[in-house]
Amino acid sequence: YRTSGQLGFFGEHDELYWNVTGNEWAFPIEKVSFRLRLPGRDFGADFSSIEFYTGKKGERWQDAFVTKEGTVESTRLLSQGEGLTVAYTWPKGIVAPPAEPAPVLEKWTPSPYRVAHLAMPVVLALVMTLLWILWGKDPPAKAVFPRFAPPQGIEAGFSRYVRSMRMDDQAFAAMVLGMAVKGPLTIEERSLVAEAAKQTGKDASQASMGMKLLSKLVGKSYVLRLNREKLSNTNLTIDERVLVDEFFGSTRSDIHLSSADRPVIQDAFGQLGKRFKERAKPLLKTNIGKWLIGVAAFEIYAVVMLLLMILSGEGRFEPVLALMAGPFLLLPFAIPVPSGKGNMMSKFFLRVFFPGIFLFVTAGAVLAGSASGIEVDLLSVP
**pLDDT band at 300; cut points 50, 70, 90:** confident
* pLDDT tens-digit map of 320-364: 777 777 788 777 877 777 665 557 788 888 888 888 888 887 777
pLDDT for res 123? 81
Q: How far apart are CA 167 and CA 156, in angstroms?
A: 12
Question: Quick one: what percent of the chain has pLDDT higher than 70?
Answer: 80
pLDDT for res 67? 93
Neighbours of 316 (CB within 10 A): 23
- Cα-Cα end-to-end distance for the chain: 39
pLDDT for res 94? 93
pLDDT for res 177? 92
CB burial readout 323-355, b (16+ within 10 A) else e: bbbbebbbbbebeebeeeeebeeeeeebeeebb
Q: How far apart are CA 344 and CA 350, in angstroms?
A: 10
> What residue segments make up the domains of the chain, in order of their start?
7-91, 105-136+286-369, 156-283
Nearest one of 308, 354, 356, 282 to 110, comparing CA atoms: 308
pLDDT for res 145? 83
Rounded to the nearest angstrom, the gap between the alpha carbon of residue 233 and the centroid of all alpha carbons in its chain is 54
**pLDDT band at 91; cut points 50, 70, 90:** very high
In 3-state terms, what secondary structure has residue 38? coil
* pLDDT tens-digit map of 118-139: 777 788 778 878 877 887 777 7
**pLDDT band at 200; cut points 50, 70, 90:** low
Residue 39 has pLDDT above 60, yes or no: yes
Q: How far apart are CA 85 and CA 72, in angstroms?
A: 10
Residue 372 has pLDDT above 70, yes or no: no
CB burial readout 229-256, b (16+ within 10 A) else e: eebeebebbebbebbbebbbeeeeeebb
**Strands, sheet with 185-190, edge to edge from the N-terminal-most edge strand:** 185-190, 221-226, 254-256
- Listing DSSP states for 73-94 in one string gives EESS-B-TT-EEEEEEEEETTS
- Mean pLDDT of the residues in the chain: 81
* pLDDT mean over 209-228: 68
User: What element of type H or E holds 217?
Assistant: helix 209-218
Neighbours of 88 (CB within 10 A): 23
Residue 306 has pLDDT above 60, yes or no: yes
Residue 380 has pLDDT above 50, yes or no: no
In this structure, of 96-110, 218-232, 246-260, 344-358, the range with the lowest mean pLDDT score is: 96-110
pLDDT for res 103? 55
Where do the DSSP E strands lie in the chain?
7-9, 13-19, 33-34, 49-55, 64-66, 72-74, 83-91, 185-190, 221-226, 254-256
pLDDT for res 193? 52
pLDDT for res 379? 41
* pLDDT mean over 179-195: 78
pLDDT for res 34? 96
